[in-house]
Amino acid sequence: MNEKTKFALRGLKWFRWVLVPALVVILLTRATPALAAESGPDPVLRGLNTVWVLVTAFLVFWMQAGFAFVEAGLTRAKNTTNILFKNLIDFVFATLAFWLIGYAFMFGNSAGGVIGTTGFLVSPSGAADVAGVPLLAFWLFQLVFAGTAATIVSGAMAERTKFSAYLLYSFFISAIIYPISGHWIWGGGWLAGLNLGAGFKDFAGSTVVHSVGGWLALIGAVILGPRIGRFGADGKPKAIPGHSISMAVLGVFILWLGWFGFNPGSQLAADGPNADIISLVAVNTNLAAAAGGLIAMILTWLFVTKKPDLPASLNGVLAGLVAITAPCAFVTPAAAIAIGAVGGVVVVYGTLLLEKLKIDDPVGAVPVHLMNGIWGTLAVGVFATENGVSGLITGSADQLLVEAIGVLAVGVWCLLTGGILFMTIKAVNGLRVTREEELQGLDLHEHGTQAYPADAVAG
């Protein structure tokens, strides 16, 4: 037995430290998968809604691949392994963190409207249905949303963040930051209960998911500072193109597809009038995406790069998708086009603004998810029809005010906790790789590998 083998065997011993706590957890959750009796609703109806929730959850899971490919495509080959790894592992962390505590903080019985307190180590044993579907179907749907919020951050902080730092903040975002503000809005917390003539509305998460990811992306990018070479000595910005537009396009197509799960799935039901709502939501989602892509293409063509610009158009599509996420169930198709079109404007000028401020966001996560998350949430106040069924552009001042309060509250929460989180990691673990590592690439230094080794590519 050589040295390497001996050393490797230590791993098996070490694994006891995983196995023993795991067994403890299992015993703690001595819950049985007792299947809920067919009480209450028609079993076929319950089955239909479960199928809808599960299939749309699968589509939202698929968005993880979309984020991975958009981010990898828009960054350099020397950091490809690193960014793909982050996008894989953050969903691993989100899954386990949400199971341990995240779901409980978000959807448990509320402590003063601030945080949930029940539902740790989720288990189907004796669980009541949620929203007419089995608890675990609802849980999976919420988990893939939590995963989305966490993964947004990786793009803005790409090409310079330590892998270990990423693991740390990825865990805290999925386990604590996202679930708590989520609790305020979707978990029965204080924002959900707020009523100033109108209640806060965010149908599928322009604020709950995208703005949260976007705020954390922003504060992270600011604390990290720009990549070497992104701004010249004279302060002039210098574009750093990504290594594969093909991967970025694949990512956007995946995200567009996934959004058909994200938005229509959020209704959590498909029968009767729900069928009308999910159809409206699907159509609105698609119209806004198209309008965002079109306007971003036209604006950059006429006023920015003077050519039809594919990365800008891709972000335009994503901008439209983020913007329509909050209002998709409350507005008409015509309004969805308007919301998406404004999203396209926001993303083009938001990108220029960030550059002006010398904030380096390699993939445009802040203009896409934060700025359009805000725009989409406010758009509920502008375009929402009364009761979701009558009138048009009734969007009252009341509604707009409540939406603004929600945007603000979530912003303060994220900047505060995100600031503390990133500063603490910076102090304790370090947040950024060394200059040498950044120049040579994170793949080589962090993972001892290359995404496309010359030997293997040459044959």
Backbone angles phi, psi at 303, to 5 degrees: -125, -15
Cβ atoms of residues 359 and 347 within 8 Å? no
Does 345 interact with a copy of itself (rule: CB under 8 A)?
A: yes
Q: Does 103 bind a copy of itself (CB under 8 A)?
A: no
How many helices (H) and strands (E) are present in the chain, helices listed first? 20, 2
- Residue 121 binding a copy of itself, by CB under 8 A: yes
**SS3 of residue 86 by DSSP:** helix
Supply the angle between the helices 16-28 and 3-14 in degrees, to the nearest 10: 20
Smallest distance from a copy of itself to CB 429, Å: 14
Cβ proximity to a copy of itself: between 189 and 340 the closer is 340
Helix orientation angle between 43-73 and 135-156, rounded to the nearest 10 degrees: 10
Q: Is 343 in the site for a copy of itself (CB under 8 A)?
A: no
Region near a copy of itself per CB under 8 A, out of 173-181, 182-190, 191-199, 312-320: 312-320
With contact defined as beta carbons under 8 Å apart, do 6 and 100 qualify? no
- CB nearer to a copy of itself: pick between 27 and 112: 27
The upper half-sphere exposure of residue 26, i.e. CA atoms within 13 Å in the direction of its Cβ, equals 6
Check residue 43 for interaction with a copy of itself (CB under 8 A).
yes
Of the candidate spans 32-40, 181-189, 206-214, 363-371, the one that interacts with a copy of itself by CB under 8 A turns out to be: 32-40
Stretch that binds a copy of itself, among 112-120, 184-192, 283-291, 397-405 (CB under 8 A): 283-291
Question: What are the tokens at 327?
Answer: 């209002």
* 126 touches a copy of itself (CB under 8 A): no
Nearer to a copy of itself, 393 or 416 (CB): 393
Closer of 195 and 305 to a copy of itself (Cβ): 305
- As measured in angstroms, the least distance from the Cβ of 201 to a copy of itself is 15
Work out how close the CB of 265 gets to a copy of itself at its nearest, in angstroms, rounded to a whole number.
10
Residue 58 CA to residue 50 CA, distance in Å, equals: 12
What is the CB neighbour count within 10 angstroms for residue 360? 24
Binding test (CB under 8 A) with a copy of itself, winner from 168, 216, 321, 337: 337
Q: How far apart are CA 81 and CA 22, in angstroms?
A: 30
Please report, as residue ranges, which positions from 356 to 415 form the binding site for a copy of itself (by CB under 8 A): 356, 385, 388-393
Nearer to a copy of itself, 59 or 224 (CB): 59
8-state DSSP, 111: E
Instruction: List binders of a copy of itself among 167-206 (CB under 8 A).
Output: none
Residues 6+ apart with CB under 8 A from 113: 184, 188, 189, 190, 193
CA 454 to chain centre: 34
Considering only residues 196 through 255, tell me which ones interact with a copy of itself, judged by CB under 8 A.
240-247, 249-250, 252-254
With respect to a copy of itself, which residue has the nearer C-beta, 273 or 430? Answer: 273
Shortest Cβ 48–a copy of itself spacing (Å) = 5
Cβ atoms within 10 Å, residue 345: 17
Nearer to a copy of itself, 176 or 298 (CB): 298
Residue 266 to residue 260: CA distance in whole angstroms: 10
Q: What is the dihedral of CA 158, 162, 168, 170, to 10 degrees?
A: 10
> What is the footprint of a copy of itself within residues 49-68 (CB under 8 A)?
49-52, 54-55, 57-59, 61-62, 64-65, 68
In the complex, the smallest distance separating the C-beta of residue 231 from a copy of itself, rounded to whole angstroms, is: 14
- The CB-of-307 to a copy of itself minimum distance in angstroms stands at 5
Alpha carbon 97 to its chain's center: 15
Instruction: Identify the residue among 176, 194, 257, 404 touching a copy of itself (CB under 8 A).
Output: 257
Work out how close the CB of 458 gets to a copy of itself at its nearest, in angstroms, rounded to a whole number: 7
CB 380 within 8 A of CB 407: no
How near is the Cβ of 113 to a copy of itself at its closest, in Å? 28
Out of 191, 341, 370, 378, point to the residue binding a copy of itself (CB under 8 A): 341
For 350-409, give the DSSP string.
HHHHHHHTT---TT-HIIIIIIHHHHHHHHHHHHPPBTTTB-SS---HHHHHHHHHHHHH
* 294 lies in the binding site for a copy of itself (CB under 8 A): yes
Query: Which positions from 78 through 97 interact with a copy of itself, judged by CB under 8 A?
Result: 78, 80-81, 84-85, 88-89, 91-93, 95-96
Are the C-beta atoms of residues 154 and 166 closer than 8 Å to each other? yes
Angle between helices 135-156 and 178-186 (to 10 degrees): 130
131: contact with a copy of itself by CB under 8 A: no
